[in-house]
Amino acid sequence: MKLVTFCSFKGGAGKTTALMGLCSALISSGRRVALFEADENRPLSRWRANAAERDTWDPGCSIFVADELPLLEEAYAQADAEHFDYVLIDTEGGSSELNNTIIASSNLLMVPTMLTPLDVDEALATYRYIIELLMGEDLVIPTAILRQRVPVGRLTMSQRSVSDMLHALPLTRNPLHERDAFASMKDRGMLHLSIEKAAADPGLRLALRNLDNAMEELLQLGEFVAEALEA
């Protein structure tokens, strides 16, 4: 069972959206995925409730509340007993004993960011915090920056500047672009099941291409995660 953790000190960086997308990609590839909800705002539970209303929740995925250390330990024991392939963890914002424990227990760490100076500054602060924590614990855990909401077309000069800066750090192979399919996942449920519904509805055929493009990016992210864990 591999633990993949999404970390960000800043709210709105897109960590929960990225986690939802990766979850859908892994499940569509035949993996069993557990989600640990360490964020006390419970965005994953709301996602599951919205998906249940639309019949777009995959039973191959379970959510475990893990916003306290005892709950985290219970969630890990239960997920391990149920033989999940992956655990994706949505951390709370900022630094805490809970986050430190999650980071130190992970197999892969992902730091999402948008291409704005403020978001990149926060991502760099999160990345620096992770590295210092791992060094203090004498741990080596692969960590990667995930660029989010990247424009499909040309970047502005500011976006290009911060993007160039990020290339000095370990990055995921491909970014996630700014797509309606990503923005609407919290309401529509799991993307691979939304695609199935759209394919069966002639009225949604025009939206299907956008959904397919988003899914392709998520499958590439899933491949990156698998390769990083193997390495």
pLDDT value for 37: 95
Q: What is the mean pLDDT of residues 51-57?
A: 94
Asked whether the predicted pLDDT for residue 39 surpasses 90, the reply is: no
The whole-model pTM stands at 0.93
pLDDT value for 23: 97
pLDDT value for 61: 94
Q: What is the mean pLDDT of residues 80-88?
A: 97
> What are the Cα distances from residue 187, in Å, to 13, 20, 114, 181, 182?
18, 11, 21, 10, 10
Which CATH number goes with the domain that contains 158? Answer: 3.40.50.300
Q: What is the mean pLDDT of residues 101-125?
A: 94
What is the domain extent for residue 105? 2-230
pLDDT in tens, 138-185: 999 999 999 999 998 888 899 999 899 899 999 999 999 999 999 899
Domain count, the chain: 1
Confidence tier at 95 by pLDDT (50, 70, 90): confident
d(CA 231, CA 225): 10
Confidence tier at 200 by pLDDT (50, 70, 90): confident
pLDDT value for 221: 96
